[in-house]
Every structure is written in C-alpha cells, then in structure tokens.
Structure 1
C-alpha cells in the first residue's frame, strides 16, 4: 500500500506489513477501537485498527472466521440508528485517508507525487457529470457510484494486482472495511445507500455500474498518458490491462480518444 501523510488524522492502520507504512496520530487517545482483518493468511492475520471519537462505538475485533466477515459470537456491534453530527464527522475524518493515500500503481512505476484515491474518484465523478445522456442510465447514480466505488480503500488501502491478493479476497476485505465505515457513520439510510452503491459497482450489476467501470479504466489510462507526458515515461502496462475490456459505447469512444492521443505522442517522439 501507499504511504500516508496526514499525521493529525485520528484514524490509523496498525500492524504494518512489508509494503505498508501507517502512523497513528500522536494526539489521539480515545479508547474506542475497531479492528478488521487485512489478511487471511495464517497463522498471524494482520489487523487494521481504526480509532473513533464516537463514544457509542464499542471496541470491536473482527476475527477471521470460517463463515467470513467477523461473524463470530464475540463480534457484537453497537451503533447509532442514524448519523449524528459526531458520527458524520468521524466518518468524514476517516475518509480523509482517501485524500492522502496515493494510488499504488503510480508509486510502483516511480511517479513522484502521484494522485490520491480521492483524486481518481473525483475525476470519475466529473466523467459521469459531463457524459452524454444514455438511454436508461441515471446520471446522478453514476456520480454517486463513482464517489463511493473505492471508498473502502480508506481502510484497506489501494490493493493492486502486484500485491497478489485474489479478487475474491480483495472484495471480502473491502466489504469488511465498508461495513465498519458504515458503522462509524452510524448506520441509517445514508449508510445503506453507500452499501448499495458499492455492491452495485462491485457486482457490475447495472447500466450505471457498467459505465462507471469504464470510467475507472479510462481515468486510469488518461492519468497514465498525463504521467507519460509529464515524466517522460512509457506506461504500457496500464493500456494493455484495459484493452478490450470497455463495456459501453461512450467508454469505447473515450478510450479510443485517449489511445489516439497517446499514439500521436509516441509517434512524434520517434520523429
């Protein structure tokens, strides 16, 4: 995972692995603690620790169980029925990690000062805002999906293919993280909506999800093109990994435009 700045953030990830570096806030002392598993590898699973200012959140430890996401008898969770101002600010403070966690693929390719997870999601939301109207597609829902599709990375970080985490395990870890984030929010309609939007994207189960999945890939290759231009690099991996995987017509047109601009740039470099 990418390293994270923001030392004043009261949320932190504990038990660093060989590729993660997270630091607690030195001024945060609240006793409430949420722990969720970051890895299922025996014999010593890594745990993510999240500290909360919300006194209504009991200490929680979600252990690995055969049935999945912390469903053991000792995992009783108490939370507010709806979001209080305190719970809302706790949730938003946790989401601060999306602004400070850098996208790992760029770090792995030596990009200095790369975009954050929040940067990526924001431009995807702009894509949904400016895209042409499509029959049967709810633009507002696309914007919402774009804004929450990577939200669990506030806890688990940016898990990339280079980490070797199976797709099913990555989804499980992110679902566990999302569950805890929604508990920090205090549950209620907004938390349920976030869960629904995230699941819709994860399962690619609607026209809106199809489109936002395309935006995810297009935003990545557009960013790759920009980094190639700014840093004089060749980032073929990102273009190869998305080739032939665009689902929608507008996505195909936009991806073709990015690819065309890249090809023109590469051709000019060879002249």
Structure 2
C-alpha cells in the first residue's frame, strides 16, 4: 500500500468517526430526553473520567483514555442500539466492525485501534476494567444531570450503571455524583477567613 493510500485510509476513519458528533445516544429517548448528547460527547467525557479513574486505581491513564475514546466508534455502522432492542437484534461483535473500519488504515494504525478495541471488549486487563467503569460512570453522571434538568425517569440508568461498576474508585465517584449538584462548580469556593 502506498503512503497516499495509507493516508487516505486513515482519513477515511477520521471522517467516519466524525459521524459520532452527530449521532445521538438513543437510549435516553426512553427517559424522555428529546435531544440527548451525542456519542462523541459521551466518549469524550468517558475518556476524561477514565483518565481520572486510572490515576485513582493505579492503571495507565493514557491507555484507559484511548480505550474510552474507541469504545463506541463502531456505532457509526451499527448505531447506538438501546438495551431493549438488543433483546431482538443480533449484531456482529464490535471487534469485527472495528476490523472493517480500519482495514484501509496504515497497518500500525489498524493494529493499534484493533488491539485497543479487543482489549476493551475482553474486559480483562486493569485498563479495560477501568475503561468500562468510566463508561458506566459517565452514563450515571449524565443521568444525574438529566434529573437535575427535570427528567425524572432516569433511575434505571443510575441503578444499572452503578450496579456494573467494579472498582472502588468508581463507586466513590458515583456516590459523589449522586450527592452532588451538577452546577456547583459555578460558585467560587469559599476562602477561609
């Protein structure tokens, strides 16, 4: 493959990933959210949470962030299938979708992305466990934000996300999110007198 073909293949994946900026997280429609966040919005904050959790859990923050960024890239091709729909649909594994997505990329890029998605999907490494916790924690945090915006029907997302958490740090962050106020950061901290 020529360098021009390699570059074109990489850019094709970059363009495809851009679709995630416009694709909604569809499960929230069931809760009554009319305009839910995009998959890219979710992935960005998942990567941020993952980096923080990795630091708290002694995992590699860069690796965890990469796993988080890539964990839903397959949804450009299979969409964000709500959990209820998964009862009735059979989708190919995310690793298969990823292999198709990166087939035209330079081999080093394809190998990197494929290995990361495979690791995330296996869920066995410390980094994959933390990345999966970040995904669930981001969903919980989003539910808390929606609840504060007046969407009352988010309890099932909070409960299922919390039940899926595996690390002690993720449980602590979940507790803090549930007790916190999403816009508290707008008020300056009180200075000691």
Same fold (TM over 0.5): yes
Cα offset, 1:257, TM superposition: 1.2
Higher helix residue share: 2
For 2:174, the equivalent position in structure 1 comes to 255
Under a length normalisation based on structure 1, what TM-score does the superposition of the two structures give? 0.61
- Aligned positions of 1:58-137 closer than 5 A: 80=1, 84-131=6-53, 133-134=55-56, 136-137=58-59
Report which structure shows greater RCO (CA 8 Å, sep ≥6).
2
Under a length normalisation based on structure 2, what TM-score does the superposition of the two structures give? 0.83
Is 1:180 equivalent to 2:114 in the alignment? no
Higher strand residue share: 1
The runs of 5 or more residues in structure 1 that have no matched partner are 1-79, 263-271
Give distance in 2, aligned partners of 1:106 and 1:143. Answer: 24
Count of aligned pairs: 180
Give distance in 2, aligned partners of 1:119 and 1:189. Answer: 27
Give distance in 2, aligned partners of 1:135 and 1:223. Answer: 22
Is 1:195 equivalent to 2:114 in the alignment? yes
For 2:184, the equivalent position in structure 1 comes to none
Give distance in 1, aligned partners of 2:35 and 2:13. Answer: 26
Which structure has the greater CA radius of gyration? Answer: 1
Q: C-alpha root-mean-square deviation of aligned residues, in Å?
A: 2.3
Cα offset, 1:132, TM superposition: 6.3
Choose 238-247 or 128-137, whichever is displaced more.
128-137
Give distance in 2, aligned partners of 1:245 and 1:110. Answer: 23
- Aligned positions of 1:226-237 closer than 5 A: 226-237=145-156
